[in-house]
């Protein structure tokens, strides 16, 4: 099926509250486990951190981690600051309002660059991918995970039924729209090649997730 764009920034209180309240525990745990497998440690950038679910998990499992989370949504960052304040690792986290397509950090500033499910929000992700490459030190860990687009609208609805049956109708519609806005694995491989990330591997993680990743060296 064709890609159908959704808003790039989820910045209304309803969108931020709805996303924060969704149960992402399983996919988030899988994401952090992959970061550890790839050798993630040191200074990390969480691009499109949203409500900030990931940095507390990363800091809890990686004692050397220091995480900067960036997002374009002030309402998402409101939740992120709340989660940071509740974490015993709060001093190793910070959040900034920033655009993933124009990251305000110097070249090779981070040992690890990661993002979780923001790729499908960006109409043209090439600037985002190039910025991720630019701020990652040579030999650093990269992990960009996102949904991938099903072949048909019916397949998307099936995934909603499988994975969001207990969610409310608004949350189910968010998930369905995200599936329609996602890229396919082949599209992601081509985007990575165009952005100088040809060494990165595209991995199919589940029936709905894929990752673009580089192992630490």
Which 8-state DSSP code applies to residue 3? -
Which tens digits make up the pLDDT trace of 167-197? 989 889 989 999 999 999 999 999 999 999 9
Is residue 67 pLDDT above 80, yes or no?
A: yes
pLDDT at 169: 92
Q: Are strands 43-47 and 209-214 parallel, antiparallel or unpaired?
A: unpaired
pLDDT at 156: 96
Which tens digits make up the pLDDT trace of 156-166? 999 999 999 98
Does the pTM surpass 0.85? The reply is yes
Mean pLDDT (whole number) for 204-210: 96
Distance CA 71, CA 94 (A): 12
Q: Which residue has the higher pLDDT, 12 or 108?
A: 108
Q: Are strands 93-97 and 110-116 parallel, antiparallel or unpaired?
A: unpaired
Is residue 149 pLDDT above 90, yes or no?
A: yes
Mean pLDDT (whole number) for 52-81: 95
- Is the alpha carbon torsion for 56, 6, 144, 183 positive or negative? positive
Give the pLDDT band (50/70/90) at residue 17: confident
Mean pLDDT (whole number) for 86-100: 96
Integer-rounded Cα Rg, in Å, for the chain is 16
Q: Which residue has the higher pLDDT, 14 or 77?
A: 77
What order do you get walking across the sheet with 201-204 strand by strand?
93-97, 66-71, 43-47, 110-116, 136-147, 209-214, 201-204
Is residue 20 pLDDT above 90, yes or no?
A: no
Dihedral angle computed from the Cα positions of residues 111, 192, 31 and 101, in that order, rounded to the nearest 10 degrees? 70
- Is the alpha carbon torsion for 181, 182, 186, 191 positive or negative? positive
pLDDT cut 70: percent of the chain above it: 99
For the chain, give the mean pLDDT: 94
Q: What CATH number matches the domain at 13-214, 1.10.10.60, 3.40.50.720, 3.40.50.150, 2.40.50.250? A: 3.40.50.150
Grouping H, G, I as helix, E, B as strand and the rest as coil, residue 179 is: helix
Which tens digits make up the pLDDT trace of 106-122? 999 999 999 999 999 99
Give the pLDDT band (50/70/90) at residue 8: confident
């Amino acid at each position: 099926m064709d890609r159908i764009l959704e808003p790039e920034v989820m910045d209304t209180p309803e969108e931020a509250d709805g996303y924060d309240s969704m149960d992402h525990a399983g996919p988030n745990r899988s994401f952090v486990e992959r970061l550890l497998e790839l050798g993630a440690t040191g200074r990390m950038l969480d691009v499109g951190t949203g409500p900030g679910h990931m940095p507390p998990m990363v800091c809890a499992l990686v004692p050397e981690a220091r995480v900067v989370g960036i997002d374009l949504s002030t309402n998402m960052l409101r939740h992120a600051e709340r989660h940071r304040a509740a974490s015993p690792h709060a001093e190793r986290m910070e959040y900034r309002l920033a655009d993933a397509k124009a990251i305000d950090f110097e070249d090779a500033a981070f040992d690890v660059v990661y993002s979780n499910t923001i790729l499908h929000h960006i109409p043209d992700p090439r600037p985002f991918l190039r910025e991720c490459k630019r701020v990652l030190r040579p030999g650093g860990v990269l992990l960009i995970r996102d949904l991938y687009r099903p072949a048909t609208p019916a397949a998307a609805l099936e995934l909603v039924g499988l994975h969001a049956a207990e969610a409310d109708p608004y949350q189910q519609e968010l998930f369905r729209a995200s599936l329609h806005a996602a890229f396919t694995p082949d599209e992601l491989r081509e985007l990575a090649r165009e952005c100088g990330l040809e060494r990165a591997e595209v991995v199919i993680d589940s029936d709905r997730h894929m990752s673009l990743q580089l192992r630490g060296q």
